[in-house]
Structure 1
Amino acid sequence: MNKLVIVGNGFDLAHGLPTSYKDFIDDFWKNLRKKFNTSPYKEMVFLNEDYMGVFDYGKINSFYDFENNIQKYCKQYNAHYSYQSKICSIKIENHRLEIVEMPIFGFKNDFFRVLCSKSLVNWVDIENEYYNELLSRAKQISRDSEENDIRVLNQEFENIKKIFEEYLERSVINSFKLNEFKGREWIKLYDFFKPISIFNNNSKLLEEFRLKEDQKEIRQIFENENNGEKGNTSTYVLNFNYTTTTGQYLYQIFKSDYYNNLNHIHGILSNKDDNQINFGFGDEMDDDYRYIENLNDNEFLKNFKSFKYSQNSNYKNLLNYIDSDKFQVYIMGHSCGLSDRTLLNTIFEHKNCRSIKVFYHKREDGSDNFTEIIQNISRHFNDKKEMRAKLVNKSLCEPLPQDIRFQKKES
């Protein structure tokens, strides 16, 4: 019985890394003053250098702060604040007592404007927003403008990805020692990564499997290990992040002579030879996907993850692994949202998938997201009876530790 660990952004956040969507989008506005005229910032927004005084009316930590500063600036000069579509302007009186309208700020990237206007939380929300925008344009725009309109959306999405990559390189890869933990708290998670074994000290492991044949197989693993035989189980980490946070855990497992494998299914930023991250949408089970596919225009399919999986062997390696033997799934920091639906359905409904265990996020107020995650998981199952049979109940699940930290690099 093998173990397939699915790692998402919540795993990086649990290590204190600033990898949330909010971290990224707030960083954009924090750095706007010094970066607005550099690429790719200048492809995203326009800023009138004659009105740089807007930055002097309070610290800017978000788009909300930036908007407030503009309004304070206008109020200071008794100017009328106007915001229409992509352009923010002020109406002022010139030396000839004429009312003129002057642009202060504007969005060049309309999709970025849409994202900034909404209170989005997770990266899956961004991918879902892209799909909704794609579908909306596919159904509403005229055939004459269809190709150009979709190309514009895809280019806007590409520019956002460039800024996102630059942010992760600067604020995570180049700012933290991702191969060096602070303290010993990491051992809590290390135990979760270890293959199924009697040495895991999980007294309730058998209860996580419904079928008697699976329980019997695990008992046999324990018996063999008690007799001095080396276990033949393995851990396979499917990392949806673009960082290397799981590497240190697997290095420790490797030192302990356990078999393990790591699959950066969506790419990895530290790989300079292949720095193509897979950021897009991956739900081909959606009812509207067939409509998009039948438009017979490949530009509509440009940012679907499935087509990017063919660029390397990562997806095939995953299929080979889940075909090879029975496995239990661990969910660590992945929301199991719709943007990865096709891939997760392939895993969850596979005949070798015998159990799905969720490591949920416990908030400071005592609440948690366990129910939200299993609701998301249910959307990846066509057979709901099978889903209920595979899901491990909450009493046997655990919160993901939140007190593990990587060392920061010296500035």
Structure 2
Amino acid sequence: MNRLVIIGNGFDMAHGLKTSYMDFINWYWDQRVDAFVGNTTNIAEDILCKLIINESRRMSCWNVFSFQNSYFRNVQGNRTCAGYEVFQEIKNHSKTFSVECCPFFESIMQSIDTKGWVDIENAYYQFLKESATGVDSNCVVSELNKQLAFLQKKLIEYLQTIETNVFRNDLQGAMKDRLNPDDFSTEGKSKALDNIGINIADLATIRRNPRKFNKLFPERTMLLSFNYTATAEKYKDDNTIYN
């Protein structure tokens, strides 16, 4: 009998990798804040969000803002807090700054603020359904698709910054360990055990019979990964297939 291991993002997170969408959005804000340096205008924008410095005697552009604010930069000019924290600080000073996010990105940020996580695909789908029934649906859907494509491009950039050279012996051991008959469905248990060559009546004493007990080792294991990283591929060997 073979074993199928279905792998999702929890697998990467179990390796300590920051692969959640919240991690990705936090990285996005780090990039936005770092880009303030050298921006000699009062506008910092992309397809998702526009940040504007309103008329101010203290600062005239984002480059000045970046170097005047010691609360998020040290004397060497390096950030001392996350870009997302800087964004929140900007939002909290509405007299000095204006923030204009597209509805799609606004919903992403709201989900992170209220739930601590976000499902970007589902947020996109909900806006797509709403947009398709609107008067200017073609225009709105076109903009929505551009915003999603922009996030996809940024996600690729982010994933390329993640070090995936990690390995856990305990997870490999679990993949190769014996099949547990208690995990079989009630209806399928007899059929599965027959396929292995074990009588269901032998289960009570099977641990005392090494020959039969070892039949519970899977012949082959397939790792079916839905992740954006190739972390699971490191567990591939002669008896383990990676897909």
- The TM-score, its normalising length taken from structure 1, stands at 0.43
Distance 1:262 1:136 in 2: 39
Aligned ranges 1:330-409 → 2 under 5 Å: none
Would you say the 8 A contact 2:164–2:230 is kept in 1? no
Would you say the 8 A contact 1:45–1:105 is kept in 2? yes
Please give the secondary structure, in 1, of the residue aligned with 2:18.
coil
- Which residue in 2 is equivalent to 1:320? none
**How many Å apart are 1:149 and its aligned residue?**
1.3
Give the share of equivalent positions with the same residue, in percent. Answer: 27
Distance 2:100 2:29 in 1: 13
Please give the secondary structure, in 1, of the residue aligned with 2:140.
helix
* Equivalent position to 1:192, from 150, 153, 174: 174
Q: How many residues align?
A: 203
Distance 2:35 2:6 in 1: 36
What is the CA deviation profile of residues 124-181 of structure 1, one whole-angstrom value per residue up to 9, with x for unaligned ones?
x221111111112223x02xx22121111111111111111111112x1xxx252x54
Distance 2:123 2:13 in 1: 22
Cα pair distance change 1:9/1:110, threshold 3 Å: same
* Equivalent position to 1:206, from 173, 181, 185: 181
Cα pair distance change 1:190/1:261, threshold 3 Å: same
**How many Å apart are 1:220 and its aligned residue?**
4.4
Letter paired with 1:111: F
Please give the secondary structure, in 2, of the residue aligned with 1:43.
coil
What is the CA deviation profile of residues 333-372 of structure 1, one whole-angstrom value per residue up to 9, with x for unaligned ones?
xxxxxxxxxxxxxxxxxxxxxxxxxxxxxxxxxxxxxxxx
Please give the secondary structure, in 2, of the residue aligned with 1:127.
helix
Cα pair distance change 1:7/1:121, threshold 3 Å: farther
* Equivalent position to 1:247, from 221, 233, 237: 233
Cα pair distance change 1:115/1:70, threshold 3 Å: closer
Would you say the 8 A contact 1:47–1:105 is kept in 2? yes
- Which residue in 2 is equivalent to 1:160? 151
Structure 1 alignment gaps of length 5 or more: 75-80, 83-89, 91-102, 195-199, 264-411
Aligned ranges 1:11-50 → 2 under 5 Å: 11-35=11-35, 42-48=46-52, 50=60
Letter paired with 2:241: N
Structure 1 or 2: more strand by fraction: 1
Please give the secondary structure, in 2, of the residue aligned with 1:58.
coil
Distance 1:132 1:64 in 2: 28
What is the CA deviation profile of residues 300-325 of structure 1, one whole-angstrom value per residue up to 9, with x for unaligned ones?
xxxxxxxxxxxxxxxxxxxxxxxxxx
Structure 1 or 2: more helix by fraction: 2
**How many Å apart are 1:67 and its aligned residue?**
2.6
Distance 2:84 2:22 in 1: 11
Distance 1:149 1:177 in 2: 38
**How many Å apart are 1:48 and its aligned residue?**
4.3
Aligned ranges 1:12-411 → 2 under 5 Å: 12-35=12-35, 42-48=46-52, 50-52=60-62, 54-55=65-66, 56=69, 58-59=71-72, 60-61=81-82, 63-69=84-90, 71=92, 74=93, 81=94, 90=96, 104-107=98-101, 109-119=102-112, 120-122=115-117, 125-139=119-133, 141-142=134-135, 145-170=136-161, 172=162, 176=163, 178=165, 181=167, 186-194=168-176, 200-201=177-178, 205-209=180-184, 210=186, 211=188, 212-220=190-198, 226=211, 233-251=219-237, 254=238, 258=239, 260-263=240-243
Q: Which moved more, 1:206-215 or 1:127-136?
A: 206-215
Would you say the 8 A contact 1:25–1:62 is kept in 2? no
Query: Which of structures 1 and 2 has the larger relative contact order (alpha carbons within 8 angstroms, sep 6+)?
Result: 2
Cα pair distance change 1:23/1:13, threshold 3 Å: same
Distance 2:71 2:91 in 1: 10
Cα pair distance change 1:14/1:132, threshold 3 Å: same
Letter paired with 1:214: A
**How many Å apart are 1:201 and its aligned residue?**
4.8
Distance 2:220 2:181 in 1: 17
**How many Å apart are 1:190 and its aligned residue?**
0.5
What is the CA deviation profile of residues 53-86 of structure 1, one whole-angstrom value per residue up to 9, with x for unaligned ones?
5551633425354232453xx5xxxxxx25xxxx
Would you say the 8 A contact 1:26–1:63 is kept in 2? yes
**How many Å apart are 1:5 and its aligned residue?**
0.9
Structure 2 alignment gaps of length 5 or more: 40-44, 54-59, 73-80, 200-205
Distance 1:208 1:232 in 2: 14
- The TM-score, its normalising length taken from structure 2, stands at 0.70
Would you say the 8 A contact 1:21–1:121 is kept in 2? no
